[in-house]
């Protein structure tokens, strides 16, 4: 695996030649279409220029194609499947200068007001003609690759949004046919954990990783940032999402000012507030574990307190100890308790993510505590554990 690192080891040489001390970084080179069989992860938070990187690959390819067919021997082949680099066979004419852009079906809402065939990045777009498709899973991607045998470089946007099979599909195609895959993707979720199993497998199987960072979006900060921060706006105040907020919230970018719709931005470690992690592991999950062996009452009592008498809940006590009476008080963290439907969020976490509540127990809690059925059903569906309530 190759990591892109600053090359300040060269400064010694530079200095020995009589130049002043200076930091030399890695050359921002044009994309290499000669080196075959690579799966390249381009990782970084929102706003770090991942898609812009993809657009640059696209532009470099158009320059490389102008060199003509005579150099195709450099940019074709390179895989283990021998027949594929014998032009006489009529197959395997993949040339890495031919690029194809695959966008994720979850992302189509972003492309309002631009041509249908556009690869959109901040500040512009490239038109891809027929070399663009919206693909929902690895099977459809496999079919698309098969239907475009001349394409040698595949850009797969938000690769971690796909099923795990994708990691092995791109590995196989790159090894057998020498194809190159460029995969801009988020790697970490709002909890700062590796996004999902697909992201983990992509890290394991990729040959190159390009990490990108963005500026922290806190208004008083210019640090470099890598964290995706989820927050809600309640009465005009920024309220960080609790650690146990539902992992996946689909279509959460319609109404930024609704306290039920999350917002996202990029933050440095200092400004990435993630309250409630300690409570999740110290209290909430153990309560779920007791429920999983039939003892639902303690969890029910805590959720009842959260909903009807918040200050008597263990959640509130834990926050007060940590963020009011603790060594580093923080009103910003306390604001997380202003977000509505906390009991519903806790149930979504325990049922859909931790598998600690049965369907029956979940229904019992919804009935007894008169929880918001619509909100909870939507979150359970988002997290692929739909349950009629």
Residue whose CB is less far from Zn ion, 218 or 345: 218
User: What residues pair up with 154 in beta bridges, in sequence order?
Assistant: 100, 181
Cβ contact 235:205 at 8 Å: no
- CA–CA separation, 203 vs 197, rounded Å? 10
Residue whose CB is less far from Zn ion, 223 or 309: 223
**How many H helices and E strands in the chain?**
14, 14
- CA–CA separation, 153 vs 169, rounded Å? 14
DSSP string of 289-352, one letter each residue = HHHHTT--HHHHHHHHHHHH-GGGSHHHHHHIIIIISSSS--HHHHGGGGSS-HHHHHHHIIII
Residue whose CB is less far from Zn ion, 218 or 333: 218
Residue whose CB is less far from Zn ion, 214 or 216: 216
Output the smallest distance, CB 273 to Zn ion, in A.
Answer: 11
Any idea of the CA torsion for 57, 59, 63, 64, to the nearest 10 degrees?
20
User: What residues pair up with 156 in beta bridges, in sequence order?
Assistant: 102
H/E element, 39: strand 38-43
Backbone dihedral region of 387: left (phi > 0), alpha (psi from -120 to 50 degrees) or beta?
beta
How close are the terminal C-alpha atoms of the chain, in Å? 47
Output the smallest distance, CB 265 to Zn ion, in A.
Answer: 10
Output the smallest distance, CB 225 to Zn ion, in A.
Answer: 6
Residue whose CB is less far from Zn ion, 48 or 198: 48
Give the residues lining the site for Zn ion (CB under 5 A): 216, 218, 221, 223, 268, 271
Output the smallest distance, CB 263 to Zn ion, in A.
Answer: 16
- CA–CA separation, 149 vs 14, rounded Å? 46
- CA–CA separation, 322 vs 76, rounded Å? 59
Residue whose CB is less far from Zn ion, 209 or 216: 216
Output the smallest distance, CB 335 to Zn ion, in A.
Answer: 17
Output the smallest distance, CB 268 to Zn ion, in A.
Answer: 3
Output the smallest distance, CB 218 to Zn ion, in A.
Answer: 4
Cβ contact 220:78 at 8 Å: no
Output the smallest distance, CB 220 to Zn ion, in A.
Answer: 8
At which residue do the structure tokens 């990729």 appear?
A: 206
Residue whose CB is less far from Zn ion, 283 or 335: 335
Output the smallest distance, CB 42 to Zn ion, in A.
Answer: 23
Residue whose CB is less far from Zn ion, 171 or 218: 218
Q: Which of 158, 92, 97 minimizes the C-alpha distance to 131?
A: 97
- CA–CA separation, 88 vs 84, rounded Å? 10
Residue whose CB is less far from Zn ion, 96 or 218: 218
């Amino acid at each position: 695996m190759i990591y892109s690192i600053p090359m300040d080891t060269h400064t010694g040489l530079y200095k020995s030649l009589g130049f002043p001390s200076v930091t030399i970084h890695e050359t921002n080179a044009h994309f290499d279409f000669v080196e075959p069989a690579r799966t390249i992860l381009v990782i970084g938070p929102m706003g770090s220029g991942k898609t812009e990187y993809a657009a640059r690959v696209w532009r470099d390819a158009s320059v490389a194609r102008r060199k003509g067919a005579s150099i195709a021997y450099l940019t074709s082949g390179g895989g283990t499947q021998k027949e594929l680099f014998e032009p006489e066979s009529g197959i395997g004419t993949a040339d890495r200068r031919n690029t194809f852009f695959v966008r994720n079906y979850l992302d189509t809402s972003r492309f309002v007001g631009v041509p249908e065939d556009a690869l959109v990045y901040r500040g512009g777009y490239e038109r891809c003609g027929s070399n663009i498709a919206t693909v929902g899973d690895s099977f459809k991607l496999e079919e698309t690759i098969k239907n475009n045998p001349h394409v040698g470089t595949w850009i797969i946007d938000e690769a971690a949004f796909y099923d795990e099979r994708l990691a092995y599909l791109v590995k196989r195609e790159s090894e057998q046919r020498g194809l190159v895959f460029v995969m801009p993707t988020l790697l970490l979720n709002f909890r700062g954990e590796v996004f999902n199993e697909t992201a983990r497998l992509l890290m394991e199987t990729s040959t190159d990783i390009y990490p990108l960072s963005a500026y922290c979006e806190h208004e008083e900060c210019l640090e470099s940032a890598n964290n995706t921060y989820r927050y809600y706006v309640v009465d005009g105040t920024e309220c960080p999402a609790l650690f146990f907020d539902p992992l996946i919230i689909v279509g959460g970018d319609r109404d930024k000012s609704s306290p039920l719709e999350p917002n996202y931005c990029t933050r440095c470690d200092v400004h990435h507030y993630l309250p409630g992690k300690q409570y999740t592991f110290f209290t909430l999950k153990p309560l779920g574990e007791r429920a999983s062996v039939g003892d639902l009452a303690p969890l029910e009592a805590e959720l009842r307190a959260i909903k009807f008498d918040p200050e008597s809940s263990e959640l509130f006590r834990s926050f007060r100890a940590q963020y009011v009476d603790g060594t580093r008080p923080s009103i910003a963290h306390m604001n997380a308790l202003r977000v509505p439907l906390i009991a519903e969020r806790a149930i979504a976490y325990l049922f859909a993510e931790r598998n600690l509540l049965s369907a029956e127990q979940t229904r019992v809690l919804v009935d007894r505590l008169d929880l918001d059925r619509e909100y909870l059903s939507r979150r359970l569906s988002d997290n692929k554990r739909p349950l009629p309530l």
